[in-house]
A and B are shown apart, each in its own frame.
Chain A
Amino acid sequence: MLHLGDLKGAQGRAGVRAGKAAGQADGASAPDWPARFAALAEAAHDPRLRAFYAAGAVAGDTPLAEVPMVAIDVETTGLDPARDEIVSIGLLPMTLERIASSASRYWVVRPRIELNAESVVIHAITHAQIEAAPDFGAVIDDLLAALAGRVVVVHCRDIERSFLDRALAARIGEGIEFPVIDTMDLEARIHRAARPGFFARLFGKRPAPVSIRLADSRTRYHLPRYRAHHALTDALATAELLQAQVAHRFAPDTPLRELWS
């Protein structure tokens, strides 16, 4: 079985896939998140989810410098959100000024399916830790509280979005939506924007693909190499990458809507 990290890598190599969450368009035409949250707050049944939406979403014209964010990474038993499950979640609040590693959170949760040996090795999470861990349901309170009012920052948005959506749906009967800044998408925009010209396409010449994997992207900004596949380390790595991308490619007064989706 493939691992999540490999999926992120595979997507990276393949370029920006069309795999947007249903009904969502690209960057600039992201939904009106504050309005969407107001509507979802009305519709939600679970009080925790209602509180999450009621905390509101940051408006799209807010300058990045003023946007509260939270970098998050989940590690899973495999690739398929329909079948696989979350085993760990790491997150840390951040702004452009500061990555609050000191306020980071990390949970190991027990998946309902059997954890196979391969992914155990990759996550460095042992069976014993898994056995001792609570069900995802037990961390929903804390998780939603940590995300409330913040824009989520991930590397490869579909994973976190779909797995969190599924995990919640399975426990409380309702899924979740939230705005996301995807550092992989930002990297793809920067490096894959220029399409090859007519002749280049005609003769099958393609520019050497630029890897937009997390580790390779970080290297371009002279960020240190970290060990992969620990949810909290990956969340930190993503947070640092976003700060670097904004420092080099955007500005503190760039409106949020240019980055999120």
Chain B
Amino acid sequence: MQVEQLEILDFLRAHRPFDELSEEALQRTAAVIDVRYYKAGERIVEFGEVAEYWHLVRSGAVEVFRRNGTLYNRLTEGGYFGEFGLLRSGRVRFPVVALEDSLIYLIPREVFAELFDQYESFADYVEVEDKTRLRQAMSRKEDANDLLSATVDTLVGRAAVTLDSTATAREVAQRMSEEGVSSLLIVDDHPDVPGLPQLSGIITDRDLRTRLVAPGLAYDTPATEIMSSGVVSVNHNQLVFEAMLVMLRHNVHHLPVLDNLRPVGVVALSDIIRYESRNSLFLVGSIFRQQSQDELATLVPEVRACFARMVNEDASSQMIGSAMAAIGRSFKQRLLELAEAELGPPPVPYCFLALGSMARQEQLLVTDQDNALVLDNRFDPAQHDAYFKALATFVSDGLARCGYSYCTGGVMATNGKWRQPLAAWERTFTDWIERPTPESLLHAGIFFDLDGVWGKTAWANRLRELIARKARGNSRFLACMARNALQRTPPLGFFKDFVVESDGRHTGAINIKRRGTAPLADLIRVHALAIGSESLNSFERLKDIIDAAILPLGRGQDLFDALEFISMVRARHQAESLAAGEEPDNSIDPEKLSEFERKSLRDAFLILGNAQKFLKYRYQPGRAN
């Protein structure tokens, strides 16, 4: 006879992964559970003994250890252990001790195996590899996200409206009216392939207004005189999200779509906005319309609202990071325009560099301004430095007012040390790489993420090439970078309302940037430098690293998932603070994490911890890379 154990049944019903079982399976499971009480300190299972049960913590708390005696996990009510042994060797892999007086439910091996085989959701959740759960959490999210998964051709509703370069402005306007479009492409025959049209320019409604009507040009002005040439375009099979980033970065509202060089359509701002309501693109547009620092500062609430919206609309951290970086970049560009308007044109050319998270396009809300100036080699401090100091101060103060606080480490162009001619920068990087010490590189990591924002941005590319060339395979340099990348470690996990450190200590909160995203970015940077990758974004770098096959199989994807998950916890935390009217920060209170977030974060920390061990091993001083 099957007897209903109501308390056991209710407990199962309220806890994952049982809540997804059918009522019948739940009752069957509840009916086979046995129970055992353990006093605090009692051993529950020993390493190597036959694994007979899957254990479920009904109440109390237990500690799971590795074979070498180090703490692996702490579990409380609803936690479970023993699946490793049941699914693998049939022997207990992780010894477990009661940390508090605990009541343990015992599910026989056969029943566990049956649930595991028959219920995919159950198996998915329990799956022995911690990282697998994280991967599944991530892929479910990707599916839900149109902006990230849809390709540009889904937006191309109609063939491109084109005219060849002999057309006049009037013909362009007539054609646009007939077709009811806001932009038109000017195409030429491809010089080498007769018959293949080649994009030579784009004309928008706005161009007709500002370049034809306003200056009072004749209607038979050649279209080529009012078109924008050197057009930024996207490929038909790129992601909608990538198209959005291109628009953000270049501040354009129309993107020709190419298929094998052939223009097949145009994606307009409005098409993308269908995907992301009230888009960050608007914000970038309005940044460029502000006329002073004061006016720019009034956009802070909009930046925050834009961020919160993206988080709430389930954007990925990569999307949010890129969009926020594009916004930050626009602030810098507009501030530099305003500075030049106030101070006059620069005495020698320069390139304004973004460093760190903005260069990596991984910016969230709470972020320092990390920047530097690369000056022309003709730079003469006595003659020119006053100008660049004033320029840097203008930008730095403006950024601080727009929510990008001053860099506490002084990595800003206002610091004379970081306002150098290109040749000096090249020497500095060469020194760092060829004569490294852990001390000299201690705060240098941030410089290896550099992006040109304004001016001679080609110089930034030149520096990146130099870094990639010299760093690649340079084992002494990589060992120093690796050593510094190991200085910040993740916590072990969570226990009740505390963060558990690897040595068992408890703390009340963690700085999720310092303990999670920053050490991940540091670690990924070392691998990226080792293989000579010139990518900046950590996700892009990871793709390069995976392609270079320097990590054990699957670990690259694990890092990808770990970075995405930790970043999203951080982003959500900041968005929640905004919603609650609090000042966003990076400090996470475990109390506010859901059970799923705790488990997945712990998985992610574990992946980071293991990856750090691998980094230490791989970049030992003297080891050939």
Write the residues of chain A forming the contact surface with B, with a CB cutoff of 8 angstroms. Answer: 97-102, 104-106, 221-224, 226-227, 230, 232-233, 236, 239-240, 243-244, 247-248
Q: List 6 A-B contacts (CB under 8 A).
A: A98-B36, A101-B8, A101-B35, A224-B7, A233-B6, A233-B7
CB distance B58 to A224 under 8 Å? yes
Provided the pairs A247-B37, A247-B38, A247-B42 are in contact, do residues A226 and B7 lie with their beta carbons within 8 angstroms? yes
Cβ–Cβ contact A244 & B5, under 8 A: no
Whole-angstrom distance between the alpha carbons of A248 and B5 in the complex? 26
| CB <8 Å contact, B34 and A232 | no
Q: Kindly provide the distance from the CB of B625 to the nearest chain A CB, expressed in whole angstroms.
A: 53
Please measure, in the bound complex, the distance between the C-alpha atom of A221 and the C-alpha atom of B5, giving whole angstroms.
21
Contacts of B595 in A (CB 8 A): none
Q: Determine the main DSSP class of B at the interface with A.
A: mixed
**Beta-carbon contact of A222 and B5 below 8 Å:** no
**Chain B residues closer than 8 Å to A236, beta-carbon distance:** 5, 7, 35
Chain A neighbourhood of B337, CB < 8 A? none
User: Are A102 and B39 also in contact (CB < 8 A) when A222-B101, A223-B59, A232-B6 are?
Assistant: no
> Contacts A102-B31, A222-B59, A223-B59 known; A244 to B6 CB distance under 8 Å?
no
Number of interchain pairs (Cβ within 8 Å): 69
Q: Chain A residue with minimal CB distance to B107?
A: A102
Measured CA separation A105–B5 after assembly (Å) = 10
Q: What's the least CB distance linking A94 to chain B, in Å? A: 9
Return the contact of A244 from the options B39, B100, B106, B108 (Cβ within 8 A): B39
Q: Give chain B nearest CB distance to A68 CB in angstroms.
A: 15
Question: B1 an interface residue at 8 Å Cβ cutoff?
Answer: yes
Give the Cβ gap from B110 to chain A, nearest Cβ, in Å. 12
Q: Using Cβ atoms and an 8 Å threshold, which residues of chain B touch A232?
A: 3-6
In the complex, how many angstroms separate the beta carbon of A137 from the nearest chain B beta carbon? 18
Task: Kindly report which residue of chain A lies nearest to residue B60, judged by CB atoms.
Answer: A222
Q: How long is the Cα–Cα vector from A81 to B350 in the complex, in angstroms?
A: 99
Q: Which A-B residue pairs are the 5 nearest by beta carbons?
A: A243-B37, A247-B39, A222-B101, A99-B35, A224-B59
Q: Is the CB of B37 within 8 A of A244?
A: yes
Interface residues of B in 323-345 (CB under 8 A from A): none
Contact B103 A224 (CB under 8 A): yes
Q: Taking the nearest CB of chain B, how far is it from the CB of A82, in angstroms? A: 30
Is A104 touching B5 in the complex (CB atoms < 8 A)? yes
Q: How far, in angstroms, from A100 to B33 measured CA to CA in the complex?
A: 8
The minimal Cβ–Cβ distance linking A1 to chain B, given in whole angstroms, is 25
Closest to B101 in A: A222
In the bound assembly, the distance between CA atoms of A244 and B5 in angstroms comes to 20
B95 to chain A, nearest CB (A): 18
Distance in angstroms between the alpha carbons of A105 and B37 in the assembled complex: 21
B25 interface hit (Cβ, 8 Å):
no
Specify which of A99, A105, A221 is in contact with B101 (CB 8 Å cutoff).
A221
Chain B nearest CB, measured from A142 CB (Å): 9
How far, in angstroms, from A102 to B362 measured CA to CA in the complex? Answer: 53
Q: Which residues of A contact B3 (CB under 8 A)?
A: 104-106, 232
Pair B36/A99 contact, Cβ less than 8 Å: yes
How near does chain B come to A71, taking the closest CB pair, in angstroms?
11
